[in-house]
Amino acid sequence: MNIFTQSWFWPALTVIIGLPVVLLVLGELHTSMVRSGNPGARIVLITRNVLAPLGAVLILFTQIPQSGGPHVGFTWAKVVATAFGFVVILVLLGGLNLAVFVTAKQGTWRNRIPSIFVEIARVLLVLICAAILFGWVWGADIGGFFTALGVGSIVIGLALQNAVGSLLSGLFLVFEQPFELGDYLVTPSGKGRVVVMNWRATHLDSANGIIIIPNSNLAGESFTNLSRATDPWETSTDVRFATDDPPQEVMDLMVAVASDLPNVHPDSQPYAIPIGKSWYEINIALTAPGKSYMTLGAFRTRLWYAARRKGLHMDRDLTDNYATAERTKHMLTRAAPYLYLTPEDVETYQHHVKLERYGDGERVQKIGTVPDGLRIIVSGVVQLSIPGPEGAQYPVAQLKKDDLLGLTALTRQIVGVNAVVVDELSVLHIPVALVDTLVKTRPALARDIGLAIDHRQQLGAKVLADAGETPEPSSLVIA
């Protein structure tokens, strides 16, 4: 008997030689795809470990006579063929999902399709393909299956038409994607930043907690996406001053305070307008709509302090119980030893100085400016810091009670640090003209100011050296 003429020889030889080669090639391909992070590595692994061995077993079983099982038409070849066909379905569907959806580029229609749509389609395709497989391998009547599937879908659809309609409207909203994570929405149910977006609901982070809005509600009502505005989003508030306050001074002060707030958009300038009866409106463009609440709070707080320093009357408050003549004289008396003043000098100069207050976060002194006078700290804390790259701040020193700020008012030098209030600040402000007058007759005061400037300059140079930065030019000093 010639073995080469046997029907089982060539299929068996194909399995003996081909299976190891296929496993080797697929193994190397899987290793390469894992190293490169290719998402198709899982499909290759299933093909190597499951599909290829099942295919080899199926080839061999078709060449071997099979004894009937307890059921008519039962053979082990059909069992293996069923398993092989099912794995083929999974591999093909996985490859289709990989080619169409997993590798889709950001922003394309394939990327915007909600994952639940893909999962539902995958389940339906698996059921349909499995029915066809059983009909082909086992000769099952799949016509009844499709009939039952159609009737059942109609019954379920009628019973759940309201729920399904809401679900689909929400899913289509997710598919359209009129907003993304991080966008700021204003809806009839509330406003906030989108932190979670799934097929059922959208979660907004508001100032008072998380608002959960069903997507079906969003799909059925209008809402505003502030994050997709063509211009920076503006927030505004109204402030009232006294009728005797010059409008231009009021508006200039409001713009100056607003410009120095955090979260103000760098490409826009705040602006103020009078709206009648001593009311004024300030408009501030922000980097993010969600910063509106805190920004307006900080604006009104800082404006109160700034208005008091300017002699303006926010909210038509005409009284100032802090910067009184008695308290000003008392504070000048306390500072007299630092300024080398006699009691007679205090009486002479008490009307030339004034008490000022600053709120937390205000800049008492800006980098690149010349101080308008010497300030002696009465209470509170000021942080001196040097700006670094990408918005970094290098802290130099903290000034507290009885420390001096604005030392270069005497030398008319530009300062190289920002002085920011970290605890409500009160200072005794000595204007530059009075400083000039005092140092002319008090050489010791000029010496003390010079030594203080040198000391702070050394502190600044050390901070920059520790940070690996090049020190500022000598014209920018720490004061």
pLDDT digits over 257-270, tens only? Answer: 999 999 899 888 99
Query: Which range, of 106-110, 326-330, 353-357, 371-375, averages the lowest pLDDT?
Result: 106-110
pLDDT of the residue at 98: 76
Burial class (CB in 10 A: 0-12, 13-18, 19+), 253: buried
With contact defined as beta carbons under 8 Å apart, do 227 and 286 qualify? no
Q: Which residue has the higher pLDDT, 80 or 330?
A: 330
Q: Which residue has the higher pLDDT, 306 or 232?
A: 306
Q: What percent of the chain has pLDDT over 70?
A: 82
Mean pLDDT calculated for residue range 401-419:
89
Query: How would residue 72 be classed by pLDDT, with cut points 50, 70 and 90?
Result: very low
pLDDT of the residue at 193: 86
pLDDT of the residue at 375: 94
Amino acid type, 199: W
pLDDT of the residue at 362: 95
Mean pLDDT calculated for residue range 410-425:
90
Q: Which residue has the higher pLDDT, 28 or 253?
A: 253
Query: How would residue 112 be classed by pLDDT, with cut points 50, 70 and 90?
Result: low
Note the CATH number of domain 325-477.
2.60.120.10
Mean pLDDT calculated for residue range 358-376:
92
pLDDT of the residue at 121: 75
Note the CATH number of domain 179-228.
2.30.30.60
pLDDT score of 301 more than 80: yes
What's this model's pTM, rounded to 2 decimal places?
Answer: 0.62
pLDDT of the residue at 475: 43
pLDDT of the residue at 170: 66
Note the CATH number of domain 234-310.
3.30.70.100
Tens of pLDDT, residues 143-163: 665 566 665 666 555 554 555
**Mean per-residue pLDDT over the chain, rounded:** 82
Q: Which residue has the higher pLDDT, 412 or 255?
A: 255
pLDDT of the residue at 69: 45
Most confident listed range (203-217, 385-399, 420-434): 420-434
pLDDT score of 101 more than 80: no
pLDDT score of 111 more than 90: no
Burial class (CB in 10 A: 0-12, 13-18, 19+), 7: exposed
pLDDT score of 392 more than 80: no
Q: What percent of the chain has pLDDT over 90?
A: 33
The three-state DSSP-derived secondary structure of the chain is CCHHHCCCHHHHHHHHHHHHHHHHHHHHHHHHHHHHCCCCHHHHHHHHHHHHHHHHHHHHHCCCCCCCCCCCCCCHHHHHHHHHHHHHHHHHHHHHHHHHHHCCCCCCHHHHCCHHHHHHHHHHHHHHHHHHHHHHHCCCCHHHHHHHHHHHHHHHHHHCHHHHHHHHHHHHHHHHCCCCCCCEEEECCEEEEEEEECCCEEEEEECCEEEEEEHHHHHCCCCEEHHHCCCCCEEEEEEEECCCCCHHHHHHHHHHHHHCCCCECCCCCCEEEEEECCEEEEEEEECCHHHHHHHHHHHHHHHHHHHHHHCCCECCCCCCCCCCHHHHHHHHHHHHHHHCCCHHHHHHHCCCCEEEEECCCCEEECCCCCCCEEEEEEEEEEEEEEECHHHCEEEEEEECCCCEECHHHCCCCEECCEEEEEEEEEEEEEEHHHHHHHHHHCHHHHHHHHHHHHHHHHHHHHHHHHCCCCCCCCCEECC
pLDDT of the residue at 71: 47
Mean pLDDT calculated for residue range 168-178:
70
Query: How would residue 216 be classed by pLDDT, with cut points 50, 70 and 90?
Result: confident
Most confident listed range (82-96, 277-291, 352-366): 352-366
pLDDT score of 41 more than 80: yes
Query: How would residue 5 be classed by pLDDT, with cut points 50, 70 and 90?
Result: low
Q: Which residue has the higher pLDDT, 477 or 197?
A: 197
Q: Which residue has the higher pLDDT, 6 or 461?
A: 461
| For the chain, domain boundaries | 3-162, 179-228, 234-310, 325-477
pLDDT of the residue at 1: 52
pLDDT score of 377 more than 70: yes
